[in-house]
Structure 1
């Protein structure tokens, strides 16, 4: 929801960072890889019992770069299907690393994270199949279905799990419920769109 509705407010920051990256000859794919590497650091920080605040700060830096890569691609007219594949795949790798560490370090019932992972799989299946099947055009290189839970909401929920470790399992279940609701939104939108095709 926030990615769709609040993007215009934060886009000037992404534009400035993108311009800086372009100045130093960093392509969108370079920044995607950098975002992945930085995005894996919070899991290491948490696993080694360093600062939770540091982990969250680095996570949000990776999230910023995750948005900047697409901005660079659009500015340089270098959007590509492979760039999209990298972006979506690397996002899931960062999420998986966080879920594994949160389940190991903070969870009293790691099965909660199996449930969370299952909801993400369902949601991404709908998201990706609709994107592949749809002939709609969006600003991105594939049709981006909006919903209650998008990337920013995910970062917020992961941040809360990290900063409130005593409540990690409860926050994970709330997050899972949000994702299931989003899956329903996307599924119903797909039904409306494709039923006459």
Structure 2
């Protein structure tokens, strides 16, 4: 939701950073790899009780993840770049969840349920993006929802920085992610039905 409605406020900073990298002959894919390298440190940092360092790495990674997209649009977007971006995003999220699960094993069961809800939501998101004839800035149809990446990062941050409330923040994330998956599924039914009807005309 934040990504969809507040992106215009962040775009000037994102564009300036993209230009900075482009002037130094970085490619979008190289920034994607950099974002991944920083983001994947989050899990080990959580496990070794360096929550604030993990927080910083997560948000730098997330910011660079928006910069690589801006760079691709300023040059030439590549299909492989989209695959790389989406894959590395999921691996960064997995790093956070694994770090939390091993740091707080008593809540591993709830974190596992959260992982399933994220898998559910992203499966709907990617399947609809692949099947829809519409497209957007990410080279496929982008389904907005209650929980987009920024909301996920905010909730991950609460989970990392306030472990005494981890049960409640994880449960909240689970609810929000499940709701988003169902929201996207219902939108997919409407969107693809309209697409099929238009194809039949």
State the TM-score, normalized to the length of structure 1.
0.96
How far apart, in 1, do the equivalents of 2:53 and 2:161 lie? 10
Contact kept, 8 Å, 2:147 with 2:177, in 1: the verdict is: yes
Secondary structure of 2:106's aligned partner: coil
- Give the whole-Å Cα distance in 2 for the aligned partners of 1:194 and 1:144: 14
Question: C-alpha deviations, 1:38-92, integer Å up to 9, x for none?
Answer: 0012222222223x2221112101100000000000011x211111111110001
The residue that corresponds to 1:43 in the other structure is 43
For structure 1, the 5+ residue unaligned runs are none
> What residue in structure 1 maps to residue 4 of structure 2?
4
Match of 2:122 in 1: 124
Which aligned segments of 4 or more residues in structure 1 are displaced greater than 3 angstroms? none
Distance 1:193 1:155 in 2: 28
- SS of the equivalent of 1:110 reads helix
Q: Residue 148 of structure 1 aligns to a residue in which SS?
A: coil
Structure 2 CA distance for aligned equivalents of residues 139 and 93 of structure 1: 22
* 2:78 corresponding residue in structure 1: 80
Query: What CA distance in whole angstroms lies between the structure 1 residues aligned with 2:57 and 2:123?
Result: 28
Spell out the pairing of 1:127-138 with structure 2 (5 A cutoff). 127-138=125-136
CA RMSD of aligned residues (A): 1.0
Cα distance between partner residues in 1 of 2:145 and 2:58: 22
User: Does the 8 Å CA contact 1:123/1:182 hold for their aligned counterparts?
Assistant: yes
Render the CA deviation track for 1:113-140: whole Å, top value 9, x for unaligned.
Answer: 1100110111111001100000012122
Between the aligned partners of 2:37 and 2:166, the Cα distance in structure 1 is 24
Task: Quote the residue 1:61 is aligned against.
Answer: 60
1:188 and 1:131 map into 2 onto residues whose CA distance is 14
Larger mean CA deviation between 14-23 and 97-106 belongs to: 97-106
**How many angstroms apart in 1 are the aligned matches of 2:29 and 2:83?**
11
Q: Which residue of 2 aligns with 1:156?
A: 154
Contact 1:123 1:180 (8 Å CA) reproduced: yes
TM-score normalized with structure 2 length? 0.94
**Mapping for residues 14-53 of structure 1, pairs under 5 Å:** 14-50=14-50, 52-53=51-52
Give the match's secondary structure for 2:30. Answer: helix
1:107 to partner: Cα distance:
4.8
Asked if the contact 2:41/2:95 (under 8 Å) is kept, the reply is no
